[in-house]
Amino acid sequence: MRFTNLFTKTKREAPADEVAKNAQLLMRAGFIHKEMAGVYSLLPLGVRVVNKIANIIREEMNAIGGAEMQSAALQRKEIWGKSGRWDDEAVDIWFKTELQNGTELGLAFTHEEPLAAMMRNFVESYKDLPAYPYDIRTVFRNEPRAKSGVMRGREFFWKALYSFSVDEAQHNAFYEKAKQAYINIFNRAGIGEQTYLTFASGGSFSQYSHEFQTLSDAGEDIIYVDEEKKMAVNKEVYTDEVLADLGLDKNKLVEKKAVETGNIFSLGYKFSEPLELMYKNEAGELKPVFMGSYGIGITRLLGVIAEERNDDRGLVWPAAVAPFQVHIVVIGDDIADQANALYDQLQQKGIEVIIDDRNARPGEKLADADLIGVPVRVVVSSRSLEQGGVEVKRRAESEASIMSVDEFIASLG
Amino acid sequence: MRFTNLFTKTKREAPADEVAKNAQLLMRAGFIHKEMAGVYSLLPLGVRVVNKIANIIREEMNAIGGAEMQSAALQRKEIWGKSGRWDDEAVDIWFKTELQNGTELGLAFTHEEPLAAMMRNFVESYKDLPAYPYDIRTVFRNEPRAKSGVMRGREFFWKALYSFSVDEAQHNAFYEKAKQAYINIFNRAGIGEQTYLTFASGGSFSQYSHEFQTLSDAGEDIIYVDEEKKMAVNKEVYTDEVLADLGLDKNKLVEKKAVETGNIFSLGYKFSEPLELMYKNEAGELKPVFMGSYGIGITRLLGVIAEERNDDRGLVWPAAVAPFQVHIVVIGDDIADQANALYDQLQQKGIEVIIDDRNARPGEKLADADLIGVPVRVVVSSRSLEQGGVEVKRRAESEASIMSVDEFIASLG
């Protein structure tokens, strides 16, 4: 991409009304635009990071049998009335609206009820199960406070998979696969090391649910971490009884602040029974479907990574989620041809590259490259060409080195 | 993809409460699920078609300098109050909602106002223009009636690009490029032949706007078509004066029903003035930005293509937007290995393929293949193998032929 096609601009100062570091950095660097507290538009750089995260998730969900769909946002009262979740007293973060004829509608904050209702069209017999539809879409939550930037949005992007199984055993086998897929996702997104499988409160069908908590001082959750076992316990279930049950030693646990970046949950018959999602087993008996849900906050991940991967000069993206792999900084008017040739060569090799072709001061271009945080910066200037090539610096390192163009391309692997 | 990972099922009968042919076919074939009138979820097959259409649009928008963003759905009253479009009397298709503190919000039905407001952060001088942000996202319209299936949704997927130019001349140059990009999109999506550039009513800055109208008996618009000149006039501006202005001969025009699948519009200063989106020209004078908007209904295109590309056995997708290129029908238990080998071989070549690996009757599998409408059907059975290969039939043709696997793969080009 050419910088001159990017309609955004970086800012030197953080916006006055934004307290969260992740949003401050993402706004300064031109990844997001704030519409109001808790509501952000994604700018082109932000769209690219979100797509990278979404594609990692998509690959891992498809690998365990998931099938991507796109649920509707507008929701009917009748369906949610069956589970008891329509009432604002039961769910206090609904956005509600209505049709012109006065019919009340809700904006989806999740999709257990509509998906259970939809699956009645497709599930008759045990042969139609298991089924694993998933959404990658925007959902809406009317949060009373929204001060954590994109880590807690009123409108946010997530992935939600719902599992439909014949029984608890079939469910449990998938649940374990989903757990591993989540571990893969956080590892691939570059925050695996500080993300912990965390035991949290369950429901009627399981003693625990599992959260994926990413350590961050900006987090709203308190967890107790066993670093050796790479697991944690959420404060809400942090009792001697639970620790004994999980075989954890209180003396080895460290209290940490963390952000819930994902969760997986055994729902059992909580939604299939009220929504009458049944199947016939081999004996011809009608049985309720066993459900599970598996969420992961995509814009929340964007926020956590921004919050945790930065330095005093700006963002430092892990390569797998970076908006581009290479950021070319062109210094001087006389070397446009050489810089464009490098740009074309990288594009042809399928390497995602942004070229700063603006008519701007070198200092401004270098500062913007640091603020945006693409993994590899390449300066093309008459000085670098005299020295035999281009000046290459990794964002996470401080030393630059001169390489020939061929050496540089080979170094990208 | 494996059919057994697709959680949907085809239906022999159209749903009783659905009158639109496009929605009937898309529901029967498992592309969409109806949540309520005008609100549909996309099932995996539908997601694939929508992604195909969206990617064609994305490529054409990027080629003319567009930069993809993702605007928010939740909208603030203050911004829309400035243009006068907040009032329900001015815009009668708003969905409104509110924050817990009572602040009124709207659900975006378009984004001129928020984008003009956002661009104030990025536009100071003529050097910051032109700019071409675009969205591919869901928007909401509280339609009083919704009887045209996915051709007129209350919640629908669209592309909207907004252009920001220094003056009318810079705007017009882009407008012409956008017009050509739209022609490319409809051609690539397989409905170019029946899509007409149509003159419709303009605004304060242009006598006409341009619609792209796709001929369909299910259409809600009436247009007058000059087939030779490949242009049309919307009924709303069909006067002798307009025909003379456009150099059209009334006797050569044919009245047709059509669906507005796209439109491009010169907005001038209609939004930049009330929202105070200004720039400094070379002389240092403050000037308003000249705006344009360019919409295209993605789920509407899905609907029109379904409505217009079908026969009595089901859907007949143009290859460029088909959910898969090849549909393998496995007949008999004993040939699973050969069928899976073909599936793997096609996948490795990057050909999008679905394999019907269900334990179902041959007649059901063949009928489903026709209903779903993938361009090439390949039957793998012990009979086809005895005859030397696989039985290949194009969806749009009636004759099947036996080919060796190598011949078949070569035939895909």
A8, A72, A127 ranked by CB distance to B41: nearest: A72
**Tokens 């969905």 appear where?**
B95
Q: How far apart are CA B362 and CA B382, in angstroms?
A: 13
Total domains in chain A come to 2
* pLDDT single digits (tens) B243-278: 999 999 999 999 999 999 999 999 999 999 999 999
Residue A125 domain flag: yes
Q: Per-residue pLDDT tens, chain B, 413 aa: give them.
A: 999 999 999 998 888 889 899 999 999 999 999 999 999 999 999 999 999 999 999 999 999 999 999 999 999 999 999 999 999 999 999 999 999 999 999 999 999 999 999 999 999 999 999 999 999 999 999 999 888 999 999 999 999 999 999 999 999 999 999 999 999 999 999 999 999 999 999 877 788 999 999 999 999 999 999 999 999 999 999 999 999 999 999 999 999 999 999 999 999 999 999 999 999 999 999 999 999 999 999 999 999 999 999 999 999 999 999 999 999 999 998 899 999 999 999 999 999 999 999 989 999 999 999 999 999 999 999 999 999 899 999 999 999 999 999 999 999 97
CATH of the domain at A171: 3.30.930.10
Q: Are residues A272 and A330 in the same domain?
A: no
Q: Are residues A109 and A223 in the same domain?
A: yes
Q: How far apart are the first and last CA of chain B?
A: 21
CA distance A164 to chain B (A): 10
Q: Are residues A185 and A279 in the same domain?
A: yes
In 3D space, the residue among A231, A233, A212 whose CA is nearest the CA of residue A222 turns out to be A233
Cα distances (angstroms) measured from residue A143 to each of A87, A107, A153, A335, B95: 16, 13, 8, 51, 19
Q: Are residues A306 and A331 in the same domain?
A: no
B69 touches chain A (CB under 8 A): yes
Cis peptide before B130 (omega within 30 of 0): yes
- pLDDT score for A305: 97
A7, A75, A122 ranked by CB distance to B7: nearest: A122
Cβ distance B138 to A73 less than 8 Å, yes or no, reads: yes
Residues 6+ apart with CB under 8 A from B393: B376, B377, B379, B399, B400, B401
Residue B112 domain flag: yes
Q: Which residue of B has its CA nearest to A75?
A: B35
Q: Are residues A300 and A227 in the same domain?
A: yes
CATH of the domain at A369: 3.40.50.800
Residue A318 domain flag: no
Cβ distance A100 to B155 less than 8 Å, yes or no, reads: no
Q: Are residues B288 and B375 in the same domain?
A: no
Chosen domain end from A311, A335, A365: A311
- pLDDT score for B317: 98
Cβ distance A73 to B119 less than 8 Å, yes or no, reads: no
- pLDDT score for B14: 81
Q: How far apart are CA B250 and CA B319, in angstroms?
A: 37
Residue A319 domain flag: no
- pLDDT score for A33: 97
Q: Which residue of A has its CA nearest to B34?
A: A118
Q: Are residues A353 and A301 in the same domain?
A: no
Q: Are residues B262 and B342 in the same domain?
A: no
Report the alpha-carbon angle A89-A91-A97, nearest 5.
95
- pLDDT score for A326: 98
- What does chain B come to in residues? 413
- pLDDT score for A270: 96
Alpha-carbon Rg for chain A in angstroms: 24
* C-beta of residue B44 within 8 angstroms of C-beta of residue A67: yes
| Single pTM value for the model | 0.97
Residue B399 domain flag: yes
- pLDDT score for B16: 85
Q: Are residues B349 and B292 in the same domain?
A: no
Residue A65 CB coordination number (10 Å): 17
Chosen domain end from B311, B340, B370: B311
- pLDDT score for B334: 87
Q: Are residues B278 and B350 in the same domain?
A: no
CA distance A155 to chain B (A): 7
* pLDDT single digits (tens) B185-218: 999 999 999 999 999 998 777 889 999 999 999 9
Tell me which residues of chain B, numbers 137 to 166, contact chain A at a CB-CB cutoff of 8 Å. 138, 140, 142, 144, 154-155, 164
What parts of chain A have a pLDDT lower than 70?
none
Q: How far apart are CA A253 and CA A199, in angstroms?
A: 13
* pLDDT single digits (tens) A94-128: 999 999 999 999 999 999 999 999 999 999 999 99
The H or E element spanning position B359 is none
Q: Which residue of A has its CA nearest to B65?
A: A5
CA distance A253 to chain B (A): 38
Tell me which residues of chain A, numbers 92 to 121, contact chain B at a CB-CB cutoff of 8 Å. 95-101, 105, 107, 114, 118-119, 121
Chosen domain end from B285, B311, B337: B311
Report the alpha-carbon angle A233-A135-A185, nearest 5.
45
A132 touches chain B (CB under 8 A): yes
**Would you call B314 helix, strand, or coil by DSSP?**
strand
Tell me which residues of chain B, numbers 330 to 359, contact chain A at a CB-CB cutoff of 8 Å. 359
Q: How far apart are CA A380 and CA B146, in angstroms?
A: 57
Q: Are residues A252 and A330 in the same domain?
A: no
Residue B224 domain flag: yes
* pLDDT single digits (tens) B221-240: 999 999 999 999 999 999 99
Q: How far apart are CA A312 and CA B92, in angstroms?
A: 49
User: Which residue type sits at B27?
Assistant: M
Cα distances (angstroms) measured from residue B366 to each of A166, A223, B119, B343, B356: 28, 55, 53, 17, 10
In 3D space, the residue among B93, B91, B96 whose CA is nearest the CA of residue B76 turns out to be B96
Q: Which residues of A touch B5 (CB under 8 A)?
A: 65-67, 132
In 3D space, the residue among B29, B112, B125 whose CA is nearest the CA of residue B367 turns out to be B29
Cβ distance B42 to A97 less than 8 Å, yes or no, reads: no
Residue B316 domain flag: no
**Which domain does A356 fall in, by range?**
324-411
3-state DSSP of chain A: CEHHHCCCCCCCCCCCCCCCHHHHHHHHCCCEEEEECCEEEECHHHHHHHHHHHHHHHHHHHHCCCEEEECCCEEEHHHHHHHCCCCCCCCCCCEEEECCCCCEEEECCCCHHHHHHHHCCCCCEHHHCCECEEEEEEEECCCCCCCCHHHCCCEEEEEEEEEEECCHHHHHHHHHHHHHHHHHHHHHCCCCCCEEEEEEECCCCCCEEEEEEEECCCCCEEEEEECCCCEEEEHHHCCHHHHHHHCCCHHHCEEEEEEEEEEEEEEECCCCCCCCCEEECCCCCEEECEEEEEEEEHHHHHHHHHHHCEECCEECCCHHHCCCCEEEEEECHHHHHHHHHHHHHHHHCCCCEEEECCCCCHHHHHHHHHHHCCCEEEEEEHHHHHCCCEEEEECCCCCCEEECHHHHHHHCC
Residue A122 domain flag: yes
Q: Are residues A93 and A177 in the same domain?
A: yes
